[in-house]
Structure 1
Amino acid sequence: MRILFTVFPSYVHLYPLAPVAWALQSVGHEVRVASSGNFARAISSVGLTPLSLGDPDAVEARLRPGAKQPPNPQEVLAYADLMGLDSAERENWIVFYQWLLNPVSDYVRVDQPEAAHLVRFAQRWQPDLVLWDPIFPAGAVAARACGAAHGRFLGAALDYFMYSTERLEAARDKVRSAGLSDNPLADLIRPLADHHDVDVDDELLRGQWTVDPMPEGVSLSTGGHKVPVRWVPYVGGEPCQEWVLDGPTSRPRVVLSLGESARRYVAGDWGRTPKLLDALAGMDVDVIATLNERQLQGISTVPDNVRVIEWVPLTQLMPTSSLLIHHGGTGTTMSALANRVPQLVCDTDESFLMGPADVVPRLGDAGVYRAGREFGVTDDDADGDAEQEGWVIPGRHLMAPPWSGVMTQYGAGERLNHQVMSGTEIRDRITHVLSEPSFAAGARELYEEWMARPSPSDIVSTLESLTAEHRR
């Protein structure tokens, strides 16, 4: 078979699909991975063949002038009220409507070259199967335009798309009566679909099935045909870091990792890093902290027991580690889970709602996001007046709530809220997880459940059968 993946141009989206793409490639299928032109080198680095969409020398669509801003908070909450969502459902809706639809809009535009290039390639190459990233849904249009079977590949986050569109569908009459669109995802995709004479229906928006690497305890309750698969931790073909094999000889190794994505878009770290380092200072542990200069802003002295490294693969660190303290990203979480390492997940009580500070007040330090900015690419000004032009966002990762819940449920770790916990309380919690054997037992139980899921090679025959059933 010929198989075409589409992926949002981010390592967080690329790494989860790489093991599945390898499994398909290893049995003889021809695999291509399509993304923004300047992401081709990243795709090649994981041993896959890229399709470089658009101009490889151009900045990504999300960073170009005219990039869409998130919808205003009042509009977001108006929808939530009409759908009668409770507090947890509201947060899922906010993530979909205010956080995820924006990047979707950047890569389905008919006035930019990427989507048209993708459809044109599919019509020429004639893939049998297209597996598309929900944040890069031009893949669904390309599949329909060439007659390929197609499914979604969830990777970086939960299925907020299916979850939210199902709730919109249930409240369709109320939403329409209020003068709001009953399917904003369809609105974004329709111009591209119309341009290629493709009908916009539920199958186009949701895929013919969904490959879902999220464990049962994390996944949202949604309909549709799901193909479960084990998330295999992978962070690229990095050189072996031999020093990690030595490990700590007399003290436990604690790893502090607060994510790679946010530090590219948000200056500082919401006051979280200084508090965590203060709590770790003087403890009888060896700490490896994967932090960069922006995350270390305002910290004059790093504790003696902390070694700061901007980047080291967690897949190499975890086998010699006793505890991972982190921001809640799935790739980070799974690296520890696959090595039976207990975890402390940083999570706050804030809403994910973005907006001006006077509309969406925040606890503690605030992070500011601006559409079209990435430090070192389009804007190196981490301070200055430009910092005040963006959206105030919470100091929590989108996946922190579900993962902190899973760690607590299995007794494999605990939740850390730096905004309400004192340094002493954080230190006591670290000590408790390190010294109490039940956390290691909980981490082993979570590992066994993860191992029980089908591996990437296990689902190859399933994907072959589904493709034969659905392709035209």
Structure 2
Amino acid sequence: MMTITPGTGHTYPMVPLAWALQLAGHEVLVVSCGPGLEMGEAGVRTVDVSPGLSLGQMQGKLAANHPELGAKLASEALDANYLDIIGGAVAAALRLQPQMVEGMIRTAQEWRPDVIVHSPLLTPGLVAAAKLGIPAVQHEFGFVRPSGQIMRKVHADLFEQHGVDLPEVQATIDITPPSIAAPDPDSWMMGFVPYNGSGALPAPIFDFLTNAPAVPRIAITLGSGPAPEEAALIFRQVLEMAPKTDAEFVMVVPTVDLEPFGPLPDNVRSFGWAPYSTLMSHCSAVIHHGGPGSALGAIVNGVPQVIPDFKGLARPLIADTMVQRGIARVVPPQEIGPELVESLLADTALPAATNDVREEIKNMPSPYEIVDRLVALVGAGK
């Protein structure tokens, strides 16, 4: 069973392992809601435990009921307490969603899996595994590495409500390349495999994205739910610099209405959605919001990255580790302009380092190898 936080950034990294499990003949059930149900579009059976609920709604309810926690989560900077801040905010958000939490635990008790693979910080998966006496495996989404111990501390009331402690057998799947951030020695390393949703791509869009442009192409993507003020700031910078820059800009903004920004310059194209790897196939660089999926997706496609230095949601951690490895530039949003693009395109160190990490990911264990470890873990726990 996979218990997944209802967000695309939590769901997509778990798709390759679900595929590998099914191809190896194992039965997989995904328990989630909202965007977590996109696993169904990827061919995995799903159960909706809280119809209509999304990660954005959870964040909104958290901000309304615990404004101080919502503010911390949005403004958190890189320091020693960032995981505690995130863990505490997630625990508070989960308390506000009892239908989802209890639905996950109840479904596990009814279905009785041999192992639960869960999103980071998703306490119901840990509690359900403890109640059933089965292993719990945390599937990380990159860069942010919380432990079960954090959630045991900040969400102690849920464990006490169900009369359990942490599962006796636990493991962690880590998809962050070791050269970017040293892993826990006990973690199971797995190479990142990009997945960005399903659906038909119209031929004109496919042709445009896969044909090499006459000038450098810069992609701009801000994830599935950018803060409106952040999105507006980046779009204004891009639209202002585009007429002054000998480059082509492709903006992928599935949740943002660009109409208020007026007519787009001739060298700017906009799409509501495009598969990331197709988008990256002929890009010289990408500007993105600092999410782990966007960062890892750019690496596996060998594309240098620019990340605005926004706070909150662990983005300072992601940005810092990328800069330390030499595979990204982090700049104030106001500095996104022609000079930055010119400097970026002339930089040879950034793409060289990116390609080194790309090769590292290729040499990491595959999801098929993780299937074998899961089978062994279940056998050891019996």
219 and 413 in structure 1: CA distance in 2 versus 1, 3 angstrom threshold? closer
Deviates more, 1:336-345 or 1:138-147: 138-147
2:88 aligned partner: 97
CA distance in 2, matches of 1:33, 1:17: 10
105 and 219 in structure 1: CA distance in 2 versus 1, 3 angstrom threshold? farther
1:184 is displaced (CA, Å) by 2.1
CA distance in 2, matches of 1:126, 1:200: 19
Give the TM-score taking structure 2 as reference length: 0.85
The equivalent position to 1:133 in structure 2, one of 111, 119, 124, is 119
2:196 aligned partner: 235
Partner SS, residue 307 of structure 1? strand
Partner SS, residue 430 of structure 1? helix
Structure whose residues are more often helix by fraction: 2
2:49 aligned partner: 53
The answer to whether the aligner puts 1:254 opposite 2:218 as a matched pair is yes
The answer to whether the aligner puts 1:30 opposite 2:20 as a matched pair is no
The equivalent position to 1:326 in structure 2, one of 265, 281, 288, is 288
1:307 is displaced (CA, Å) by 0.6
Partner SS, residue 271 of structure 1? helix
CA contact (8 A) 2:306 2:331 kept: yes
CA contact (8 A) 1:16 1:232 kept: yes
CA contact (8 A) 1:247 1:253 kept: no
1:74 is displaced (CA, Å) by 12
Partner SS, residue 238 of structure 1? coil
1:31 is displaced (CA, Å) by 0.7
CA contact (8 A) 1:16 1:231 kept: yes
1:126 is displaced (CA, Å) by 2.1
The answer to whether the aligner puts 1:200 opposite 2:165 as a matched pair is yes
261 and 438 in structure 1: CA distance in 2 versus 1, 3 angstrom threshold? same
The answer to whether the aligner puts 1:470 opposite 2:364 as a matched pair is no
Measured against aligned partners, the alpha-carbon deviations of 1:291-319 in whole angstroms (never above 9, x if no partner) come to 35746475234222111112111121111
CA contact (8 A) 1:103 1:135 kept: no
CA distance in 2, matches of 1:74, 1:403: 20
Residue type at the aligned position of 1:277: L
CA distance in 2, matches of 1:31, 1:74: 34
Structure 1 unaligned blocks of 5 or more = 81-85, 166-181, 353-397
Q: How many corresponding residue pairs?
A: 375
RMSD: 3.3
1:209 is displaced (CA, Å) by 1.2
Residue type at the aligned position of 1:227: W
CA contact (8 A) 2:4 2:36 kept: no
Partner SS, residue 29 of structure 1? coil
1:451 is displaced (CA, Å) by 1.7
Structure 2 unaligned blocks of 5 or more = none
Which stretches of structure 1, 4 residues or longer, exceed 6 Å deviation after superposition? 73-77
CA distance in 1, matches of 2:2, 2:286: 32
2:186 aligned partner: 225
CA contact (8 A) 1:277 1:302 kept: yes
Partner SS, residue 219 of structure 2? strand
CA contact (8 A) 1:154 1:212 kept: yes
Residue type at the aligned position of 2:307: V
CA distance in 1, matches of 2:287, 2:150: 31
CA contact (8 A) 1:158 1:219 kept: no
Question: Pairwise mapping of residues 303-314 of structure 1 onto structure 2 (< 5 A)?
Answer: 303-314=265-276
Give the TM-score taking structure 1 as reference length: 0.70
244 and 463 in structure 1: CA distance in 2 versus 1, 3 angstrom threshold? farther
2:133 aligned partner: 147
The equivalent position to 1:405 in structure 2, one of 320, 324, 327, is 320
295 and 103 in structure 1: CA distance in 2 versus 1, 3 angstrom threshold? farther
Partner SS, residue 164 of structure 2? coil
62 and 249 in structure 1: CA distance in 2 versus 1, 3 angstrom threshold? closer
Residue type at the aligned position of 2:156: A
CA distance in 2, matches of 1:430, 1:52: 44
Question: Pairwise mapping of residues 276-425 of structure 1 onto structure 2 (< 5 A)?
Answer: 276-291=238-253, 294=256, 296=258, 299-348=261-310, 350=311, 352=312, 398-419=313-334, 421=335
1:122 aligned partner: 108
2:3 aligned partner: 6
1:233 is displaced (CA, Å) by 0.9
39 and 441 in structure 1: CA distance in 2 versus 1, 3 angstrom threshold? closer
Residue type at the aligned position of 1:29: H
Residue type at the aligned position of 1:115: V
Measured against aligned partners, the alpha-carbon deviations of 1:52-89 in whole angstroms (never above 9, x if no partner) come to 225x4x5459748x944336269979xx9xxxxx9621
Residue type at the aligned position of 1:228: M
